[in-house]
Structure 1
Amino acid sequence: MSAVMPTERVPRPVTPRPLPSERRLDGFTYEYEGERRTLAELHVRTHTTGFAVLHRGVLVGEDYPGRFASPSSRFQLFSLTKSVTSILMGIALEEGALGSTGDKVVSYLHELRGSAYDGPTVEDLLHMSSGVEFVEDYTDPMSSFAQFERAVSKAGSLLDVVRSLPRAAEPGGAFNYSTVDSQVLGWVLESATGMSLPRYAHSRLWSRIGAEHDAYYFLTRGCPRTALGGGSFNATVRDMARIGLLMARGGELDGQPIVPASWVERNRGVAMPHLAVGALGADIAPHYGYANQWWTLQGGRRSFTGIGIHGQYLWVDPEADVVVVKTSAWDTAEDDSRDAETVAALSALVAYLEAHG
């Protein structure tokens, strides 16, 4: 992405946090559609480009089957960016830069007064429940997502796109997956902190987790250029595994609190029926719920994952202290079959590590 779009760097710290390594996945297999399969088969079947597994902070598996992929490759993470934005929001709230998740969006963004975002709170946007109509259709050139994408890539005005969206429902009561909700959250964060998303990400997150490599956000072509809080973060697999480890450890690394534990706990689910696993709507796989810009997972473990289109995952199971990062190159933005197989494989992988820990 840095070859085709303007970017802003998120610099790595001088000293990276080491990830001890001990390969332990040679005997792992998973079952899907009545067949027993290996990780190598998962990678072929689901077009994996990069893959890393942490168990109790140890790198127990790592592969880069994708063309041009390596431990130093920065991958376009698509909507995994949303989960990073959520982390930054939690930090800003703890610092007092952000007053409350109950604050109205327009108290930070006066330019959205009179739009459909005049009414929803920060909390509403965190749960994709703004009530603003936005059609996240990646194939329809007339959809509101296509308008958003054209504004990003062809020097249009994102603000004009956001202001043009109509109200579809009352805020807080209905789930509607929306990259624009996350974009507005990013703008709220920038307004509250007085810093760009990349600068704040470096200061409060990247420098504290001991990242190995610089990350970056790509920016809109049009000026004023802006990072996308919902989809322009690029980073290495190992550094995203460090983010996952932070989440698995309740927001703390090596005794240093970075994200409030109460904020991380929100990622595991909130008591709102319309966000429960299986309740998100007919077009969302029934093994997912949603909370705080993360996808919640079925079962009693209360694990959660960030997801990006074309097969990007940041899977976090705090109970087992397991983190899995999977980057992929699906030929379509969404694929129910590849997603279902990935979920089956990663769930089985957690169980395997618990049994062989």
Structure 2
Amino acid sequence: MRNLVKLAMLATACVSLTACEKVQKVAADAAGLPTDENVLFWTQDQRDNAFRQMELLATTRTIEAGDTIRVLKSGDAFPATLPAVEGDSAPGLSIDEYMADQRLAGLVVLQDGKIRLEEYRMDFGPDDRWTSFSVAKSLVSSLVGAAIKDGAIKSLDDPLTDYIPELTGSGYDGVTVEQLLTMTSGVRWNEDYEDKDSDVARFNTTKSKDGVDPVILYMKTLVNEAKPGTRWQYNTGETNLIGVLVAKATGKSLSEYLSEKVWQPYGMAKDAVWILNDGGKEIGGCCISATTRDFALFGQFAMNGGKIGENQVVPVGWYDKAGTKQADIGVEGRGYGYQWWTYDDGSYAAQGIFGQGIFIDPKRKLVIAGNGNWPRATPDDKKVGRDAFYRAVQAYVDSEAAPAE
């Protein structure tokens, strides 16, 4: 939810880096795209423009879709205004007003695998891609499940250093794969995006050296300040380490592995793209650009237990554990699973700054995917409004299932 990405400008088409940066700046200015590498300092108009075409600002790798597209049937459409939810102050929730308030470019609701709602705004459409920010974290954790099923990762109880030996002697000595997934490593970390000296600020500007991944270069400098497994702390760097773990264990890039395991066999409609870091590796904690419908399809894949036809992509019961509270985050009714935000009613969600999200409610066979551009990265009122929408959809689905009086 709070991931900050520092975008490196493309340099591959230029002879010298200085010349390339000048060319890219002129091109970005002409297209109305931002040239500041820090997304928090982009204007709202720049974000509206950039979030749908991040591949023009940074180097990416393609997550290839297959030849067979999963066809979604249409279910009964939701009413234009959802009825009021008991306990909420609003008299009812207009979907049009909700999208405007949340500044959503795309919104897709699947229920029992059928499209109940699909709406687009801001000159954005069903075939267009939008960036995910930290929604990518939940997709990356799913790749850990796939790697366990494939035998590339033996156990969640394995020490992380078994797979990334470069971390030996760092704060990650004694930290398990599962503790990395739940962000309970106990390693000292500062995720304050407005502090130029924070770990997340310095981490994102680390350059590759002698061919070593910049993720490893920075993370191996960190020290442990709490016993592993005893404290939860949000840490984007650790999700990037999860990406390193999966790539090392499988011998494949994250884009290739996601395409092989989910994107192609599950029938995603469009190629997606993944932003790369200075070392040419996918940023595990951020930045997959895909269509809103394909994000919803990923939610459907997770809700179905990670099974495609007769093929079980992740271990049986993976999402039952990944999508339930494994760590206490200090918020009543909420928690953190394996890179998923959890609700005590059994639902769980992937969330990214500026309003990206995939909400999954297995009990109601419900998936809600949204992509947008909030006025700020994590405004409390927008988060509250989004949760209110989730409750309104849940209540409406419940009302349909209730016996007539």
| TM-score (normalizing by structure 1) | 0.90
- Tell me what 2:338 maps to: 292
Is 1:99 aligned with 2:143?
Answer: no
For residue 183 of structure 1, what is the aligned residue in structure 2? Answer: 240
Partner of 2:315: 260
Alignment match, 2:31:
none
Distance 1:260 1:158, change over 3 A: closer
2:389: which partner in 1? Answer: 345
Does 1:142 pair with 2:197? yes
Quote the Cα distance in structure 2 between the aligned partners of 1:81 and 1:331: 21
User: In the alignment, what sits opposite 1:21?
Assistant: 74
Give me the whole-angstrom Cα distance separating, in 2, the residues matched to 1:287 and 1:325. 21
Matched, 1:315 2:315: no
Deviation at 1:350, TM superposition (A): 1.9
Give me the whole-angstrom Cα distance separating, in 2, the residues matched to 1:71 and 1:115: 45
1:304 maps to amino acid: Y
Alignment of 1:64-75 (within 5 A): 64-65=120-121, 67-75=122-130
- CA shift at 1:23, angstroms? 5.0
Q: Secondary structure at the match of 1:150?
A: coil
The 8 Å contact of residues 136 and 177 in structure 1, kept in 2 or not, is answered as yes
Shift of 1:68: 3.9
User: Contact conserved, 2:148 with 2:314, CA < 8 A, in 1?
Assistant: no
**Stretch deviating more after TM superposition (155-164 or 166-175):** 155-164
Cα offset for 1:331? Answer: 2.4
Partners in 1 of 2:334 and 2:187 — Cα distance?
22
- 2:288 partner amino acid: F
The answer to whether the 8 A contact 2:72-2:114 is kept is yes
Displacement of 1:111: 1.2
Alignment of structure 1 residues 96-135 onto 2, 5 Å: 96-135=151-190
In structure 2, how many angstroms separate the alpha carbons of the residues matched to 1:298 and 1:40? 29
Match status 1:57 vs 2:113 = yes
Partners in 1 of 2:158 and 2:310 — Cα distance? 31
Distance (Å, rounded) in 2 between the aligned partners of 1:161 and 1:349: 43
- Which digits, 9 at most, give the CA deviation of each residue in 1:172-231, with x for residues without a partner? 1110011111111111111110111111111111111100000111101x2x31111111
CA contact (8 A) 1:101 1:123 kept: yes
Provide the residue aligned with 2:55 in structure 1.
2
Counterpart of 1:201 in structure 2 is 258
| Partner SS state of residue 316, structure 1 | strand
Matched with 1:280 is: 329
What is the aligned partner in structure 1 of residue 13 from structure 2?
none
1:43 counterpart letter in structure 2: M
Percent identity of the aligned residues? 31
Look up the equivalent residue of 2:338 and give its one-letter code.
N
CA distance in 2 between counterparts of 1:214 and 1:225 reads 19
Kindly indicate whether the alpha-carbon contact (under 8 Å) linking 1:10 and 1:206 is maintained by their aligned counterparts in 2. Answer: yes
Change (3 A) 1:107 1:81: same
Q: Deviations over 1:323-342 (max 9, x none)?
A: 00011201222111110111
How does the TM-score come out when normalised to structure 2? 0.80
Q: Tell me which residue corresponds to 2:375.
A: 331
Match of 1:166 in 2: 223
Give a deviation string over 1:225-257, Cα, whole Å, max 9, x none: 111111121111111111111122222244543
Q: In structure 2, how many angstroms separate the alpha carbons of the residues matched to 1:215 and 1:327?
A: 14
Contact kept? 2:147, 2:153, Cα under 8 Å: yes
Shift of 1:356: 2.2
Distance in 2 between residues matched to 1:215 and 1:26, nearest whole Å: 31
Residue 151 (str. 1) matches residue 206 (str. 2): yes
CA distance in 2, matches of 1:21, 1:340: 29
Secondary structure of the equivalent of 1:228? Answer: coil
8 Å contact kept, 1:134–1:178 = yes
The runs of 4+ residues in structure 1 deviating greater than 6 Å are none
Structure-2 residue corresponding to 1:37: 93
Q: Computing the radius of gyration over CA atoms, which structure comes out larger, 1 or 2?
A: 2
> Take 1:239 and 1:114, find their aligned partners in 2: how far apart are those partners?
41
Q: Structure 2: state its 5+ residue gaps.
A: 1-53
- Mapped to 1, the partners of 2:367 and 2:214 lie a distance apart of 38
Is the alpha carbon distance of 1:120 and 1:41 closer, same or farther for their aligned partners in structure 2, counting shifts above 3 Å?
same
Match of 2:271 among 214, 224, 230: 214
CA distance in 1, matches of 2:89, 2:223: 42
Task: Tell me if structure 2 keeps the 8 A contact 1:52–1:324.
Answer: yes
C-alpha distance 333-286 of structure 1, shift in aligned 2 (>3 A): farther
Distance in 1 between the 2:146 and 2:333 partners? 29
Question: What amino acid is the match of 2:335?
Answer: G
Q: How far apart are residue 152 of structure 1 and its match?
A: 7.2
Note the residue ranges of structure 1 that are not aligned, 5 or more in a row. none
